[in-house]
């Protein structure tokens, strides 16, 4: 694999994962009650706990996107 191919790969991964991150944020902003009711059937918990769990999920997912997608893409873009 050459640097150009890897750069395109990580760019594609970054676009997909940032899109999923933005989608999950908007779903949380506009459909939080629906998401809570849907998951509340499977995992009964108070709304405050559910908010914390979802907030932590978004935070961890964002860190993983930075570490495994954006940083390698930027490094390969600089090297290329």
Where in the chain are the domains? 3-79
Burial class (CB in 10 A: 0-12, 13-18, 19+), 73: buried
**Residue 43, phi then psi, degrees to nearest 5:** -125, 85
- pLDDT (0 to 100) of residue 1: 77
CB 22 within 8 A of CB 16: no
Interval 19-72: pLDDT, tens = 999 999 999 999 999 999 999 999 999 999 999 999 999 999 999 999 999 999
Predicted TM-score (pTM) of the model is 0.86
pLDDT number for residue 53? 93
């Amino acid at each position: 694999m050459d640097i150009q191919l890897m750069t395109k790969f990580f760019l594609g991964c970054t676009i997909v994962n940032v899109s999923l991150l933005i989608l999950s944020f908007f779903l949380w902003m506009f459909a939080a009650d629906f998401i809570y009711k849907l998951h509340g059937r499977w995992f009964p918990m108070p709304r405050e706990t559910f908010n914390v769990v979802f907030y932590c999920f978004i935070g961890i997912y964002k860190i993983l996107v930075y570490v495994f997608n954006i940083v390698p893409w930027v490094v390969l873009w600089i090297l290329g």
